[in-house]
Amino acid sequence: LKAGYEYRPIYLNNTEPGTPSGGASFDGAWTGLNQQAPLAQQGLGFASFLLGLPSGFSFESSQAGWSVAFKNHGLYLQDDWKVARTLTLNLGLRWEYEMPMTERFDRLGFIDYDRESGVRVNSGWNFATDVANRLPAGAPAPNLGTVNRIGLGLVNTGDVGRGNTQKVLGNFGPRVGFAWQLRPRTVVRGGMGILYSGYTGNASGSGSLGIHPFFRTSGNALISSDNGRTISATLSNPFPNNVGLLFGTNDPAEVQNRSIGGSYPLYQFNHRPSYEIAYNFGLQQQVGKWALESTFIGNRGVHLYVGGNPFVSTLPPQYLALGSALETPVPNPFANAGNPENGYQITRPTIPYKTLLSDYPHLSAGSVRVLQRPTGNSIYLAGFFRAERRFGNGFSFGAAYTVSKLIEDTAAKTGTVYGLPQDGRNFRDLRGISVQDIPQKLAVSYLYELPIGRGRRLLGSPATLGSKVLEAIAGGWQLAGFSVIQSGYPLQITQSDDFTGGMGYGKLRPTLTGNYKTDVSVSDAVGFPNEVKGRYVNRDAFSVTPRYQFGTAPPVLPNMRQPRWNQTDLAILKKFRFSESRYFEVRGEARNAFNHSIFQLGNNEMNIQNANFGTFQSTANEPRNVQIGARFVF
C-alpha cells in the first residue's frame, strides 16, 4: 500500500512593455493645400513626417510587470494486490486540486454573469419613433432588459478571493488495472482511470492569463478635434493636456467604468477543469518466437477547453433574415445616458442595428470573449495490434497496426480552421471527425546486424593481423529502418466570403450541393491550374454561401482525405570499440530514403474561391535528407 502527496508551484513572471515609445503614422493630409481634399490632391507623407505632423499616434506600456502563480496539490493512494499467483490488481485513487490562478498585484479579472453591468439606457430613447422608421417593416425591437447583466469582476473584491475562478475540490480520479496470466504464454491486461488536467501551462501572455487590460497605461492621440481643419496633436506633444491618455489603474470602480462596452478576453468565474476517462483491454500472446499483442483503447474527453475563445454576446441566428439591414446605423440607446466616455462604441451617437439585437447589446457582439471555455467533448476508439520477433543471424522485426477513430468538437484546439461554430454558440455544430483523425496506421521497424565480426559467422575469431584489420573495418555494422504507411488527414473545405464583423460568429462555411468525390488521381491533380488534368475534389459540389446565411458543408469532410502517408527512413552505423566503455561511432541516416512525395492540399487549395482549388501545390513531407555523423564516447 502506497500513499503520497505532490505539490507543484509554478510561477510565471514577465513584462510586456507594449510600445512605450509610441507608434506614429503619417500621410499627406497635413502638407497639402487642403487637409480635407481627396487623396490625389494631398501632400506627401514624408513631408508630414519631417514636420512632425502625424495622422495617428498610439502607445501602450505596462504599468508594472505581471507575476502569476499556479499551485497544484495532489494526493494519491495505491494498492498493488496479488490476488493469486496468476492475477494482480492495481487499485488507486488520486485527488487533484489546482488552486485558482493568482497574480501578485491582484490585477486578474473575470467575466461575472451575476454582476450588474452599470450600463444606463437613455430614458428618451424610443424604438418605435427613433429606430423602426430606418428598418424594414416588422423589424424586431431589441431586448434591453439584459443590459444590467454581466460585468467585469476583479479578484480580491467583495466575497471573491485572490483567484479569478471558482474553487473546484471534487476532482477525484479512481484508477484500476489488472494483469491475468491466463496460460503460461497468454496474459490478459486491462485498466480504466479518470485523469484531470488544469489550465497550468496554457498561459502565453497577459491576455490569455486573464489579467484585465486596464492596468496598462495607454494612449490614442486625438489628432484633430475639428474633423481635420486644425491639428491638435503633434509628434513632439501627442497628448496635450493628457487628452487621449489613459493611465493604468486597478481601482475596481474605475476598471468597471472603463470596461463598459470594451473588448477583452477573460476566464468565466465558474471555470472548471477538464478530465479524461481512459480505458483499455488487451491480450498478449507468445506464439513460437513471435510476441503478439492486441489491445482495445478508448478515451473520452469531458469539459475540454474549446478553441477560438467564444464570445459572450452573439447575434441570435433568427435575425440573419434581415440581411444587410443589420448593418444599418441606428440611434444608440446608451448615448447621452451618463455612461462613461471611454471611447468605445457604447457612447457613440449611433450603433449598428445588429448590436442592439445581440444577446447583450451593451457588450457589443464580437467583443468580450471567454478564455478556454470548458464545454468541449471528444471520443477516441482504437484497436492496436503489434507483432515482434528476433530472428537468427542478428535480424529483428517489429510491426504495429492501429485502426482508430477520433470525434470531437473542440475546434481550434485541434488545428481546424474553424475556431468557432458558425453561429458562435452551438459547438455541436463542429462535432464530427477530428482533423487529427488517422483511421489506419502501419509502422514497421527492422534491424539487421551484418554477420561479420567477433562472435558472428564471418571473422568471428580473427587470428591473423590481416583478419583482425578486416574485422575491425567490416565487422559490427548495423542496418536499421522504419517505415510508416498511414491514412491522410481529413479535408476542410472553406470559402473566402465571410460574415460581417460584430456578430460574434465563427467562420462562414460553403454550402454543399452535390458529391464532392472524384475519380481524379493524385498525379493528375499535381501542378499549376493550366497543367493539371483534373481536380482532386469536385468544385461543383460546393457553392459560396451568402453573407447572411449558414453554410451546410461540414467543418471536416467525413469521408475524403489527403493522400496517404508513405515514408521510409534508413540508417547504417558502426562502432569501433577500444574497450567496453570507449568507442568511436560513425553513422549515416537517410530520412525519406526513397524520396516519396506526400502531396497535400493547403488551405488555399481547399478554398472554393481560389483558382487552385483541388490541385496539389505543396507536399506534407520533406525531400530526401542524408546526413553523416561521427562521435567518440569515452
Q: Is 243 helix (H, G, I), strand (E, B) or coil?
A: coil
Is the per-residue pLDDT at 411 higher than 60?
A: yes
Q: Which residue is it, cell 481546424?
A: 416
Class of residue 633 by CB neighbours under 10 A (exposed 0-12, middle 13-18, buried 19+): exposed
Sign of CA dihedral 354, 355, 356, 361: positive
Class of residue 24 by CB neighbours under 10 A (exposed 0-12, middle 13-18, buried 19+): buried
The residue that leads in pLDDT, 586 or 202, is 586
Least confident piece of the model among 293-297, 315-319, 442-446: 315-319
Is the per-residue pLDDT at 39 higher than 60?
A: no
The rounded distance, in Å, linking the Cα atoms of 206 and 61 is 13
Q: Assign 3-class secondary structure to 555-614.
A: CCCCCCECCCEEEEEEEEEEEEECCCCCEEEEEEEEECCCCCCCEECCCHHHECCCCCCC
In this structure, how many other beta carbons lie within 10 angstroms of the beta carbon of residue 268?
A: 21
Beta carbons of 280 and 298 less than 8 angstroms apart:
yes
Nearest alpha carbon to residue 484 among 441, 448, 446: 441
pLDDT band at 368 (very low <50, low <70, confident <90, very high): confident
DSSP string, 208-227: HHTB-GGGSEEEE----SST
Residue 20: in which H helix or E strand, if any? strand 19-25
pLDDT band at 457 (very low <50, low <70, confident <90, very high): low
Least confident piece of the model among 158-172, 363-377, 492-506: 363-377
Q: What is the pLDDT averaged over residues 423-445?
A: 92
Least confident piece of the model among 61-70, 129-138, 439-448, 522-531: 61-70
Give the pLDDT score at 251.
Answer: 84
Q: In Å, what is the CA distance from 460 to each residue of 456, 465, 477, 578?
A: 5, 14, 14, 17
The rounded distance, in Å, linking the Cα atoms of 422 and 494 is 12
Is the per-residue pLDDT at 204 higher than 50?
A: no
Q: What is the pLDDT averaged over residues 459-488?
A: 80
Give the pLDDT score at 467.
Answer: 67
Average of per-residue pLDDT values in the chain:
87
Which residues does 292 contact at the CB level (< 8 Å), separation at least 6? Answer: 284, 285, 286, 385, 386, 387
Give the pLDDT score at 414.
Answer: 53
* Phi and psi based region of residue 343 (left: phi greater than 0; alpha: psi -120 to 50; beta: remaining): left
The rounded distance, in Å, linking the Cα atoms of 34 and 223 is 16
Beta carbons of 564 and 485 less than 8 angstroms apart:
yes
Q: In Å, what is the CA distance from 183 to each residue of 179, 187, 190?
A: 12, 7, 16
Phi, psi of 192 (to 5 degrees): -155, 145
Q: What is the pLDDT averaged over residues 278-298?
A: 96
pLDDT digits (tens, 9 = 90+) for 247-262: 888 888 888 777 777 7
Residue 255: in which H helix or E strand, if any? helix 252-259
pTM of the model: 0.84
Is the per-residue pLDDT at 561 higher than 60?
A: yes
Q: What is the pLDDT averaged over residues 264-278?
A: 89
Nearest alpha carbon to residue 371 among 271, 501, 502: 271
Give the pLDDT score at 203.
Answer: 45
The rounded distance, in Å, linking the Cα atoms of 10 and 68 is 8
pLDDT band at 445 (very low <50, low <70, confident <90, very high): very high
List, as own/partner pairs, every contact residues 256-260 make where C-beta atoms lie below 8 angstroms and the sequence separation is at least 24, other chains included: 256/118, 256/151, 256/152, 257/118, 257/340, 257/342, 258/214, 258/340, 258/342, 259/109, 259/151, 259/152, 259/212, 259/214, 260/117, 260/118, 260/119, 260/339, 260/340, 260/342, 260/344, 260/346, 260/362
Beta carbons of 452 and 474 less than 8 angstroms apart:
yes
Which residues does 567 contact at the CB level (< 8 Å), separation at least 6? Answer: 483, 484, 592, 596, 598, 621
**Residue 470 grid coordinates:** 578486416
What's the distance, CA 76 to chain centroid? 31
Q: In Å, what is the CA distance from 31 to each residue of 42, 190, 223, 235?
A: 7, 78, 14, 15
Least confident piece of the model among 123-132, 212-221, 318-327: 212-221
Q: What is the pLDDT averaged over residues 403-415?
A: 79
pLDDT band at 105 (very low <50, low <70, confident <90, very high): confident
**Residue 346 grid coordinates:** 457604447
Is the per-residue pLDDT at 309 higher than 90?
A: no
Give the pLDDT score at 33.
Answer: 73
The rounded distance, in Å, linking the Cα atoms of 261 and 333 is 13
The rounded distance, in Å, linking the Cα atoms of 161 and 387 is 56
Beta carbons of 613 and 605 less than 8 angstroms apart:
yes
DSSP string, 88-127: EEEEEEEEEEEPPPEETT--BEEEEEEEE------TT--I
Q: Which residues face 219 on adjacent strands?
A: 59, 245
What amino acid is encoded at 265 in this protein? P
Beta strands in 205-349 (DSSP E): 217-220, 245-246, 265-268, 274-287, 290-305, 329-331
Q: What is the pLDDT averaged over residues 406-433?
A: 82
Least confident piece of the model among 140-144, 223-227, 523-527: 223-227
Least confident piece of the model among 72-76, 126-130, 547-551: 126-130
The pLDDT > 90 percentage for the chain reads 48
